[in-house]
Amino acid sequence: MVTINIGMLHYVIDHIYGAFMHRTKISPPFFSRGWGGSKLELLERMIKDLFPEVEGQNWPPSLIQPAWRTVWETRNACLREGVFRTTCDEQLISAMPPESHTARVAFLAPKHVPPHKMACVVHLAGTGDHSFDRRLHLGGPLLKENIATMVLESPFYGRRRPMMQHGSKLLCGEYMLQWLDHCTPHLLQPFLFFLHTLLLWHSVRGY
């Protein structure tokens, strides 16, 4: 009888797939369109000058009002998706591709539980995580503990991905600077500001 270690099998398959994709031209390369256009210089100036260093400035964040629709509903749980305008500086929004101007979230919550008796976690996307599904699977078991799950769709991912971009590989270097404005530790302020707007939305509703 042959016993297969599923974890090791996944590890091997993952590495074979990764090696194949990186050594062939099936997957487009990063920055296939070079550094980008005229907005690159604007983004570089914004990184240096735009975001204030004064503690407490621009705080608290503005309260978002997502437009919600119900995706599905059962006896014990409900999944809704909401859309709202990206919560960052207008100059940065103008430099982003139009597809990234609108932010999207999914909200999975237990039914018949008042907010003050419910906790909520916000799951941010990992590399290559274009949809809500993977993180919503993590939130499923939490429903039994009266814990809701909010899932954010990142810029340049999923439906916020530019039309000509295939997969996770950004088309040009200027997009990386916009992504850095959301993600890197030394430029984390606007990304945290975005996250805080979601947390504030929960706070005013009693979570």
In the chain, domain spans: 32-204
How far is 50 from 86, CA to CA, in rounded Å? 17
CA-based nearest residue to 163, from 17, 25, 33, 24: 33
> pTM for this structure?
0.58
Is the pLDDT assigned to residue 195 strictly greater than 80? no
Per residue in 33-76, pLDDT tens? 665 666 666 666 665 665 555 444 555 556 778 899 999 999 99
Per residue in 75-103, pLDDT tens? 999 999 999 887 766 776 777 777 778 88
